[in-house]
A and B are shown apart, each in its own frame.
Chain A
Amino acid sequence: MDATQDMTQNVAKRHRLSTRLWHWLNAFVATILLMSGLMIFNAHPHLYWGDFGSREDYAWLQIDDTRTTGFVRIGSVRVETTGVFGLSLGTNDNVRRVAFPGWATIPTGYDLAAARRWHFAFAWAFALGLTAFMLASLFNGHIRKDLHVRRAEWSFSAIWTDIKNHARLRLGPGNGLSNYNIIQKFSYIGVIFLLLPLLILTGITMSPAMNAAWPWLLDLFGGRQSARSLHFIAAFLLALFVVVHLIMVLLSGPINGIRSMITGRPMTVSKPDQGGKLP
């Protein structure tokens, strides 16, 4: 059945079981990885480009404190962030001189060994989950039918129309060719096929043992400290994607959206400009 038929029946295609399972597994695992990752970052809140980098070298990003104020410095731009980044209050009102505050990290307190253990265990679920989802999506048609950007969609005016629709919060399936509009497709393709693999590969590149096993990773990312910087940037972009994703869920009918991602039951959708896309 094609999408036009969907519209007339007021019913959109359901999310596949593999999509639903992976969505929730990944939401959980990525949260654990992000929060334990922020604790690991707290052990050395500086980022560098190249093979090496320590407090003796120039960091392009630094989250630090002056004992009384917290700040974030990117290049030569320094912003005071007291209370959130660099210097914050712990649960007992104790002043903590850490880059990311306790409410954002796993564990809450400073514990590099524990954070590493969480991170390197859940990383397996992250990598294997993504691989399984990619394979399932390849064979069940999710990639071909839903994510594949069709020739007709590669049109500047169509993309511009979709951008205008998003800007006006008219969120819908778009051109009637598939369930996802073009901006959704670009976002999902970017996250699934670029951002998540980038996170996994830059993570592996930070392991000295894996550098011996797969030295080409160092060449690919320009050295261990560059890989560490890219890992952090990719994590930031993923967090940004999740924020936008959640806003879109709220704007496009959260009850329907969340229900369909849990049960997979077809959800009723109305005309595109009244919302009802798959978030």
Chain B
Amino acid sequence: MTEDRATLRRRDVLRGVTLGSSALILGGCDAMNENATFRSALRAAEKLNQATHRTLTDRATLAPEFALSDISPVFKTNGSLTGTSTDYLAHLQNNFADWRLRIDGMVANPINIGLEALRAMPARTQITRHDCVEGWSAIAQWQGTPLRLLLQQARLSTRAKYIVFHCADNYGARPYYESIDLIDAFHPQTILAWGMNGETLPVKYGAPVRLRVERQLGYKHAKYVMRIEATDDLSKFHGGKGGYWEDVGDYEYYAGI
């Protein structure tokens, strides 16, 4: 590798010229990036973005839907490709026949519902675009149970502010989880998907059920959902920022951009 580096250094003609001038800007920017006051100022812009989006969209404004002919030939897989908990692996062996989704927390009527019962509920089918925070997009058809029907059935407390999704996959060494606010939880396109492109949801895309929250980026769309918990306080879960990537990668809680 030493020789490669020497070659690289020789070829790096722009480096000498630019380093001097950009060192000032970059050194400054990197220092700013670590500065707590500056970081909180940038976070204020995140709140401004969310407030702007919420002003420009009605609660029920739908994300664009597409035609069957628009579906991606291959939908890129991302994140975990299977659930990892012992529980999950046993359910997978059994084709999720005894799997139960639990909905609890700040609800008057906690629910335990199996996959067949979930599929028997009124369902929504939508062809939508999945946008990764990295920049790529893929389109698929999703079929699932609107989350709002389950929350209504569970009689969500009026004090609840967020819905937390506990998942069966560890990503890295930590369990994946996500959460959304009630505006998104009651949105007509927010579904627990158990079907994809006309088939049973495959394991690598989040079987038995995954969340679709169509006006936000991919990391909000939790896969391998095992338990749904209503809460008024996100700080008590894991890293306290409301989701795996929010905790681990410092990504925005509101992922509308």
Contact surface of A with B, Cβ cutoff 8 Å: 31-32, 35, 40-41, 43-44, 46, 51-57, 68, 82-84, 87-89, 93, 95, 101-104, 106-108, 111-114, 116-118, 120-121, 124, 206-215, 218, 224-225, 228
Asked if residues A46 and B136 are in contact (CB atoms below 8 Å), the reply is: yes
Asked if residues A53 and B214 are in contact (CB atoms below 8 Å), the reply is: no
Considering the complex, which residues of chain B in the window 94-148 have a beta carbon less than 8 Å from any beta carbon of chain A? 129, 131-139
Count chain B residues whose beta carbon lies closer than 8 angstroms to a beta carbon of A. Answer: 64
For B135, what are the chain A residues with a Cβ–Cβ distance below 8 Å? 40-41, 43-44, 228
Asked if residues A103 and B18 are in contact (CB atoms below 8 Å), the reply is: yes
For B29, what are the chain A residues with a Cβ–Cβ distance below 8 Å? 32, 35, 106-108, 118
Which of A54, A206, A215 has the largest number of chain B CB atoms within 10 A?
A54
Contact of B57 among A116, A213, A225 (CB under 8 A): A213
Per the bound structure, the CA–CA distance linking A89 and B29 in Å amounts to: 19
Q: How many inter-chain residue pairs (CB < 8 Å) link A and B?
A: 177
Which of A104, A116, A207, A209 has the largest number of chain B CB atoms within 10 A?
A209
Q: A95-B1, A208-B129 are in contact. Are A54 and B76 (CB under 8 A)?
A: yes
Asked if residues B15 and A52 are in contact (CB atoms below 8 Å), the reply is: no
Asked whether B8 is an interface residue with its Cβ less than 8 Å from the other chain, the reply is yes
* Per-position binary interface string of chain B over residues 34-50, scored 1 when its CB falls under 8 Å from any chain A CB and 0 otherwise: 00000101111110110
CB distance from B58 to the nearest CB of A (A): 9
Asked if residues B46 and A120 are in contact (CB atoms below 8 Å), the reply is: yes
Q: A56-B73, A211-B63 are in contact. Are A107 and B30 (CB under 8 A)?
A: yes
Contact surface of B with A, Cβ cutoff 8 Å: 1, 4-5, 7-15, 18-19, 22-23, 25-26, 29-30, 33, 39, 41-46, 48-49, 53, 56-57, 61-64, 66, 70, 72-76, 129, 131-139, 214-217, 249-252, 256-257
Asked if residues B12 and A206 are in contact (CB atoms below 8 Å), the reply is: no
For A209, what are the chain B residues with a Cβ–Cβ distance below 8 Å? 53, 57, 215-216, 256-257
Per the bound structure, the CA–CA distance linking A51 and B10 in Å amounts to: 41
Per the bound structure, the CA–CA distance linking A51 and B25 in Å amounts to: 36
Asked if residues A113 and B249 are in contact (CB atoms below 8 Å), the reply is: yes
Asked if residues B15 and A103 are in contact (CB atoms below 8 Å), the reply is: yes
Per the bound structure, the CA–CA distance linking A83 and B22 in Å amounts to: 17
**Smallest Cβ-Cβ distance to A36: which chain B residue:** B29
For B257, what are the chain A residues with a Cβ–Cβ distance below 8 Å? 116, 120, 206-210
For A228, what are the chain B residues with a Cβ–Cβ distance below 8 Å? 135
Contact of A114 among B12, B45, B250 (CB under 8 A): B250
Asked if residues A121 and B41 are in contact (CB atoms below 8 Å), the reply is: yes
For B56, what are the chain A residues with a Cβ–Cβ distance below 8 Å? 210, 213-214
Asked if residues B66 and A51 are in contact (CB atoms below 8 Å), the reply is: yes
For B43, what are the chain A residues with a Cβ–Cβ distance below 8 Å? 117
